[in-house]
Structure 1
Amino acid sequence: MTTKFYDRLSNDLTQLLENPIDYNVTIEVGEAPISQIFEVHSYILQSRSTYFKKKFNESPFNENHVKELKLPNISAKVFDVIIKYIYDGTISLEKLENSIIFNLLIASHELDLDELLEHLQTHLSTKNASWLRLNFAHVYQTSFQKNFKIIQKFCNDIIAKHPDTIFESENFNSLPEDVLISIIRLDDLQLEEDKIWDYVIQWGKVKNSNLPANLNEWTSDNFLTLKTTLKNCLPHIRYFNISSEQVFNKLYPYQQLFEPKLWLDINAKFLAPKNPISSTILPPRNILNVTLPTRTTPIPSNIITDEHALEISSWIDRKETPYIENNPYEFKLLVRGSKDGFDVKTIFEICDKVSNTVIVLKVEGTGEIIGGYNPLEIYSNIYGQWYSSQDSFAFSLKTENLKNSIVSRVTNYNRAIYYDSSVSYFQFGGTLRLRGNLKTGKESLCSTEYYEKKICSNSDGFSVEKFEVFKVSPKK
């Protein structure tokens, strides 16, 4: 019988890392002036990583018989976790921000730490799924660049069930070609084929901004340009599963993108469906016949997660214990700054006569997510007037840097909501004052006036990276 003393071994190697006697390698991580140097032992690192084994074989000793490596793409905070794992075989993720864990995953890939690579992917997809969804476009692209199989599957499952997650994302048009192809190849993508065609055409047009906006003005060269851009995407459209009406409405205007034989076969399939054709017929997608449970539909936001929406819904209903699933409210996106503009007047124009709205904003510089719930109707033409409410509140949501969310309810009911469309002012008392252009200006403010608490750390004017407005309605 063999007895294994792993705990003692791990502890001894940890002591060796903390007191690096006879070290023969220095590794400088990060970029100056905040870089940091680690003193380590080559025989431990190369026994744990093929990356280090190769690097040490390529690197000569200096005059002090020490090999010097530089890893500018890895931060000191990330490498500190990695080097401890290499020495003692342990890792603790509980106190790490999700962005650091994701950077740790990228570094593990670079350093050929396969065991850690799989563990981190599993951890993120099971323990931090909401963060992955909130940073979906970046996560999805990185998963393909680095071939993160577990993260890829997680993302593909979301896209297949909820295509709007990526197709309606502000980052869709910037997707790399290989990522777009991987999406439109999914057999269980829950999207009609003609809509997939629309998105692919949209993506191709964005890649060629010089194409005329009016299709009637296109020349043969314009069609050839788009055809060249989409040459690797077009074969994955399942043309023979598009109705004749949509072929006429959507494909016919772009018939110059098709090879003559394929275009002939597409039309022949409708005119003589029993006749054989030579073009490849891709199988129909596995479209579900049942509606997916409402609780699994992610909120259409680039700022907040499903968990955030549950928390806001709990505050609306004044629940002492927050909802943890089955959100009783639907959050319908009305305004998105990146699409509709960042001026406060946009809220007045788009949300005229709309009640029960939630505004969320991501603060520039701090990453704080703040906002407010307004049960009252919004008016597009109103000049400097306060409105009364007992149910409005402002909030700051939990993020990587904020341990717990904050809710600030109105205390002076007669000063709950303030509208002034003439100067683009929209206020939740004084606790959240939105003014002018939220992105380019720094006129918006936070205080405690008329509400319970301050929700923003910035005492001066601030600007925002993103903002959205939702209509909140009870689910049917």
Structure 2
Amino acid sequence: MPTHFYDRLSNDLTNLFESGVNCDVLIEVGEETLLSEIYKVHSIILQSRSSYFKKKFDEITKNNDHVETLKLPNISVKVFDVILKYIYGGKISLEKLENSVIFDLLIASNELELDELVGYLQTHLVNNCASWLRIKFAQTYRISYQIKNLKIIRDFCNDIIAKYPNTIFESEHFHSLPEDALISILKRDDLQLEESKIWEFIIQWGKAKNPNLPNSLDKWTNDNFLSLKEILKKCLPHIRFFSFSNEDVVEKIYPYQQLLEHRLFSDITIKSITPTKPISSIVLPPRKILNTALPTRIIPIPFSSNIITDEHALEISSWIDKKEIPYIENNPYEFKLLVRGSRDGFHVKTIYNICNKVSNTVIVLTVEGTGEILGGFNPLEWANNVNRLKQTQGSFVFSLKTANLKNSILSRVVKKFDCAIINYPKHSWLCFGDALGLRHNLKTGKQCHCMKSSAYPKPIRSDEFISPSKFYQEISHEFLFSVEEYEVFKILPRNDLK
């Protein structure tokens, strides 16, 4: 039995790459000049490890110094660093990489035809980053069908769809779903959706492919039905027509009978009237619908808000617990409503009076005129009888994602902890350092602000709304805002999840 010295081999090849000795290829990675980097590599090693590089190096010509240059603008420097360590040393470390970078690494590995790495990264994402994949479900699912090698990711997504079909059928991306992706879903015996509902969704999908079809079915011509039939011809064989109730046959299949072959529609009709009579059409087995109700993907948290959603609350809870991967279900906290502006009043003193001696509170508000949702978390008690700067390392401010903000922004206190919270009830000020300040009447005063803050260094609003002034008295009127609505919640551990 041979003895293997892989560690020494790996280290020697890694040292060869780092030394740059006898390199004969330059690879420029990254699109933007400031974020790009040029790597000196050995063509013989890259060609032996990747068929992609073998083909590329055969296509490009050498310069006067006998050096080839290859550009890879679609791959980031961070990702290519990992790839080169794998190519030379056969080693990969994912512990310190963000999930988004690991996913980009997967896409790049597939592009470079590193099949071993593609398989490993898919398995890693499914086994260790499932929550992140669910959060990025629409993007993940779309890419898994655009890139045929991502079967492990694709199967993972299909398993989710089978259990929670509305994830895709009721999503805004459903009508643009590729045909092969839709068919793979329709083939599932465990798709947890009534057949009549599946039929309705399939009709919707087909109509979206031909927007010229009349809105009213009464105005459809034979050519209209033939057009839709052609669009759906690969989907129709996977519909379990003999699982429809008699009522659904009449209400949902009958209006579209021209989409079906005459023999099939005749057999559906016969089976509805005389279930025991033999028919010639293929009868697909009914789907295996679970008798017990499936748990919802997100168990609603016991709170009522006019501002934030369940998803927002899960995200805030993740920040409180400093989770790298956000919660997507089973929120560990109850958001108990204490104050609401439209119900209790908009003056800052109202917040102090109701929240006096209450700790672990979240304030959320909507900015008048922009629809932004801003807020902050204070782990300490508010006090309504004394002006005081309060020290904490656990507070943070944020801006939550909305239709106009793709991703939420989190800014934790990182310095000046002794003035992280400005508890000034006598001046009607309530502030998170300089990052978010609430003053006097939040609705009518237009005295709230966001300033540049060294304590909370990441701005939660775009630069046009962040005041560069160091003192409130010097803030220009254009940087001040009023609040359309605000709410304060007490954050409590949920006992029902224990």
Query: How does the TM-score come out when normalised to structure 2?
Result: 0.66
Q: Deviations over 1:83-137 (max 9, x none)?
A: 1110111111122222221111111112221221111111111111111111111
Residue 86 of structure 2 corresponds to residue 81 of structure 1: no
TM-fit CA distance, 1:283: 1.2
Q: Do the aligned partners of residues 175 and 53 (structure 1) sit closer, same or farther apart at CA in structure 2, a change above 3 Å counting?
A: same
Q: Distance between the aligned counterparts of 1:307 and 1:122, measured in 2?
A: 29
Q: Distance between the aligned counterparts of 1:330 and 1:162, measured in 2?
A: 24
Q: Deviations over 1:155-187 (max 9, x none)?
A: 111111111222222222221111111112111
Higher mean C-alpha displacement, 90-99 vs 2-11:
2-11
Q: Secondary structure at the match of 2:70?
A: strand
Q: Distance between the aligned counterparts of 1:189 and 1:40, measured in 2?
A: 49
Q: Distance between the aligned counterparts of 1:406 and 1:5, measured in 2?
A: 55
Q: Do the aligned partners of residues 376 and 267 (structure 1) sit closer, same or farther apart at CA in structure 2, a change above 3 Å counting?
A: farther
Which structure's CA Rg is the greater one? 2
Letter in structure 2 aligned against 1:217:
K
Letter in structure 1 aligned against 2:239:
I
5+ long unaligned stretches in structure 2? 301-307, 366-374, 385-396, 412-420, 423-428, 437-457, 467-490
Residue 31 of structure 2 corresponds to residue 31 of structure 1: yes
Q: Do the aligned partners of residues 329 and 221 (structure 1) sit closer, same or farther apart at CA in structure 2, a change above 3 Å counting?
A: farther
Q: Distance between the aligned counterparts of 1:62 and 1:323, measured in 2?
A: 50
Q: Deviations over 1:176-231 (max 9, x none)?
A: 11111111211111111111112112222222333333333333333333222222
Residue 404 of structure 2 corresponds to residue 439 of structure 1: yes
Partner of 2:163: 161
Q: Do the aligned partners of residues 226 and 202 (structure 1) sit closer, same or farther apart at CA in structure 2, a change above 3 Å counting?
A: same
Residue 372 of structure 2 corresponds to residue 407 of structure 1: no
In 1, are the aligned partners of 2:242 and 2:268 still within 8 Å (CA)?
yes
Partner of 1:327: 330
Q: Say which of 307, 310, 314 aligns to 1:309.
A: 314
In 1, are the aligned partners of 2:298 and 2:329 still within 8 Å (CA)?
no
Q: Secondary structure at the match of 2:191?
A: coil
In 2, are the aligned partners of 1:124 and 1:132 still within 8 Å (CA)?
yes
Partner of 1:18: 18
TM-fit CA distance, 1:474: 9.7
Letter in structure 1 aligned against 2:4:
K
Q: Distance between the aligned counterparts of 1:284 and 1:327, measured in 2?
A: 32
Structure 1 segments of 4+ aligned residues over 4 angstroms from their partners: 303-308, 322-326, 328-331, 373-380, 382-389, 409-414, 431-434, 446-449, 451-456, 459-463, 472-476
Q: Distance between the aligned counterparts of 1:136 and 1:395, measured in 2?
A: 27
Letter in structure 2 aligned against 1:283:
P
Q: Distance between the aligned counterparts of 1:304 and 1:25, measured in 2?
A: 52
The correspondence of residues 315-394 of structure 1 with structure 2, limited to 5 A, is 327=330, 374=337, 390=355, 393-394=362-363
Q: Secondary structure at the match of 1:65?
A: coil
The correspondence of residues 1-400 of structure 1 with structure 2, limited to 5 A, is 2-33=2-33, 34-146=35-147, 147-293=149-295, 297-298=297-298, 309=314, 312=317, 327=330, 374=337, 390=355, 393-394=362-363
In 2, are the aligned partners of 1:130 and 1:306 still within 8 Å (CA)?
no
In 2, are the aligned partners of 1:189 and 1:287 still within 8 Å (CA)?
yes
Q: Distance between the aligned counterparts of 1:313 and 1:72, measured in 2?
A: 34
TM-fit CA distance, 1:66: 2.4
In 1, are the aligned partners of 2:299 and 2:329 still within 8 Å (CA)?
no
Q: Distance between the aligned counterparts of 2:25 and 2:326, measured in 1?
A: 52
TM-fit CA distance, 1:312: 2.8
Q: Deviations over 1:6-59 (max 9, x none)?
A: 333222212211221111222223335344322111111122122222333444
Q: Do the aligned partners of residues 412 and 198 (structure 1) sit closer, same or farther apart at CA in structure 2, a change above 3 Å counting?
A: farther
Q: Distance between the aligned counterparts of 1:188 and 1:292, measured in 2?
A: 12
In 2, are the aligned partners of 1:299 and 1:306 still within 8 Å (CA)?
no
Q: Distance between the aligned counterparts of 2:198 and 2:231, measured in 1?
A: 16
Partner of 2:484: none
Q: Distance between the aligned counterparts of 1:52 and 1:267, measured in 2?
A: 60
Q: Secondary structure at the match of 1:450?
A: strand
In 1, are the aligned partners of 2:25 and 2:42 still within 8 Å (CA)?
yes
Letter in structure 1 aligned against 2:186:
I
Q: Deviations over 1:345-364 (max 9, x none)?
A: xxxxxxxxxxx7xxxxxxxx
Q: Distance between the aligned counterparts of 2:211 and 2:140, measured in 1?
A: 26
In 2, are the aligned partners of 1:409 and 1:451 still within 8 Å (CA)?
no
Partner of 2:450: none
Corresponding residue pairs, total: 393
Higher mean C-alpha displacement, 131-140 vs 31-40:
31-40
Partner of 2:430: 450
Q: Do the aligned partners of residues 308 and 82 (structure 1) sit closer, same or farther apart at CA in structure 2, a change above 3 Å counting?
A: farther
In 2, are the aligned partners of 1:36 and 1:76 still within 8 Å (CA)?
yes
Letter in structure 2 aligned against 1:21:
V
Q: Secondary structure at the match of 2:28?
A: strand
Q: Do the aligned partners of residues 77 and 413 (structure 1) sit closer, same or farther apart at CA in structure 2, a change above 3 Å counting?
A: same
Query: How does the TM-score come out when normalised to structure 1?
Result: 0.69
Q: Do the aligned partners of residues 78 and 247 (structure 1) sit closer, same or farther apart at CA in structure 2, a change above 3 Å counting?
A: same
Q: Distance between the aligned counterparts of 2:345 and 2:311, measured in 1?
A: 35
Q: Do the aligned partners of residues 299 and 123 (structure 1) sit closer, same or farther apart at CA in structure 2, a change above 3 Å counting?
A: farther
In 2, are the aligned partners of 1:162 and 1:190 still within 8 Å (CA)?
yes
Q: Distance between the aligned counterparts of 2:314 and 2:399, measured in 1?
A: 22
Q: Distance between the aligned counterparts of 1:90 and 1:308, measured in 2?
A: 39
Letter in structure 1 aligned against 2:10:
S
Letter in structure 1 aligned against 2:377:
V
In 2, are the aligned partners of 1:394 and 1:409 still within 8 Å (CA)?
no
Q: Do the aligned partners of residues 330 and 246 (structure 1) sit closer, same or farther apart at CA in structure 2, a change above 3 Å counting?
A: farther
Partner of 1:339: none
Q: Secondary structure at the match of 2:69?
A: strand
Q: Secondary structure at the match of 2:430?
A: coil
TM-fit CA distance, 1:245: 0.8
Q: Distance between the aligned counterparts of 2:105 and 2:23, measured in 1?
A: 24
Partner of 1:369: none
Q: Do the aligned partners of residues 310 and 474 (structure 1) sit closer, same or farther apart at CA in structure 2, a change above 3 Å counting?
A: farther
5+ long unaligned stretches in structure 1? 332-355, 357-372, 397-404, 415-430, 464-471
Q: Do the aligned partners of residues 395 and 54 (structure 1) sit closer, same or farther apart at CA in structure 2, a change above 3 Å counting?
A: farther
